[in-house]
Amino acid sequence: MIVKTLGAGAGGGLPQWNCGCPQCHAARSGVIAPMTQSSVAVSLNGADWLVLNASPDLRHQMQVTPALHPNGLRKSPLRAVVLTNGDVDHIAGLLTLREQTAFSLFATATTLQELASNSVFAVLNPALVPRVPIVLDQPFSPLPGLVVTAYAVPGKIPLYLEPQGDAPLNTTAMGETTIALRIAGGGRVMHYLPGCATLPDWLCDRLTEADLVLFDGTVWADDDMQRSGTGVKSGARMGHLAMSGPQGSLARLSDLRARRFFIHINNTNPALMPDSPERAALRAAGWELSHDGMEIAL
């Protein structure tokens, strides 16, 4: 299995258009590499590709990835797209994929409903782009030889669907709004979880089978945004588990045998700075940050 990170960043990317935080500044001045918004491409044969989440940066991501270049006059190696939720950073790239070329679009019925209620997505001609509902825990095969099983993980509804004001919001809901993907092929297994609000025991156990884990790296600490002065929301409020702390991903996933990378890394995450203590702690725990263009041969 070939796994390419098309984009390692969270919503907004790095640098984010309106942000002057140290990481965005470092990216603008060439000290650290920029990151586009989170998306991953997977292939068994190098010729047919599955894309996990369609980021707003997909056009650029495909342009800098020769394996995804057209293989005919109006023909693409992209065979299928699977969505893990309905947030803007994971669906806006579908608009780039209009232009009358066939591929299959897989998402839960809940996420497909969110697309259906936004009429702009009607630019994807249903005769060419079938929208295939994912049934949780039921394996499906978006590419020959590749078997994907989606399962619910704790998370919340997309930002643009959140109730206004003080209405209660379940940020650890289990269901079709936030899914993880188990992808098996060529005798290897990867799990992709770009959004995950908590790590209950069953989920830690489930990930022990993996050869590769790509996990939610949005925030280092729950209060990254408050501490950096960039915002008031906690990681938990955004549906994203912190890397650090006793319930954080580093501590909770210390038993993995998998190669492990964070993805969906927010620009406010201090671990992006190469010489930071946060980056050193993450490395000491056996993790790396994924980066745009990263390729893993499993």
**87 in contact with ligand MLT (CB under 6 A):** yes
**122 in contact with ligand MLT (CB under 6 A):** no
The whole-angstrom separation of Cα 224 and Cα 276 is 14
Choose the binding region for ligand MLT from 53-61, 84-92, 136-144, 164-172 (rule: CB under 6 A).
84-92
What residues make contact with Zn ion under the rule CB under 5 A?
19, 21, 24, 267
CA atoms within 13 A on the CB side of 68: 26
The whole-angstrom separation of Cα 57 and Cα 12 is 10
**14 in contact with ligand MLT (CB under 6 A):** no
Choose the binding region for Mn ion from 3-11, 105-113, 127-135, 177-185 (rule: CB under 5 A).
3-11
- The reply to whether omega before 15 is within 30° of 0 (cis) is yes
Q: Which is nearer to Mn ion, 44 or 221 (CB)?
A: 221
The whole-angstrom separation of Cα 242 and Cα 236 is 8
Q: Which of residues 29-88 bind Mn ion (CB under 5 A)?
A: 87
Q: Which is nearer to ligand MLT, 94 or 143 (CB)?
A: 94
19 binds, among Zn ion, ligand MLT, Mn ion, none (CB under 5 to 8 A by kind): Zn ion
Size of the site for ligand MLT (CB under 6 A): 8
- Length of the chain in residues, anyone? 298
User: What's the Cα-to-Cα distance from 212 to each of 5, 9, 105, 237, 263, rounded to whole Å?
Assistant: 13, 18, 24, 27, 12
Copy the structure tokens of residue 169: 């919001």
**31 in contact with ligand MLT (CB under 6 A):** no
**114 in contact with Mn ion (CB under 5 A):** no
Sequence-distant (≥ 6) Cβ neighbours of residue 236 within 8 angstroms: 171, 197, 222, 242
DSSP string, 65-98: -GGGS-SBTTB-SEEEEE-S---HHHHGGGGTT-
Q: Where are the alpha helices (DSSP H) in 160-212?
A: 201-207
**Can you tell me which of 88, 173, 174, 273 binds ligand MLT, judged by CB under 6 A?**
88
Chain residue whose CB lies nearest ligand MLT: 11
21 binds, among Zn ion, Mn ion, ligand MLT, none (CB under 5 to 8 A by kind): Zn ion
**222 in contact with Mn ion (CB under 5 A):** no
**89 in contact with Mn ion (CB under 5 A):** yes
CB 218 → ligand MLT: shortest distance, Å? Answer: 6
CB 296 → ligand MLT: shortest distance, Å? Answer: 23
Site residues (vs ligand MLT, CB under 6 A): 10-11, 87-89, 159, 195, 238
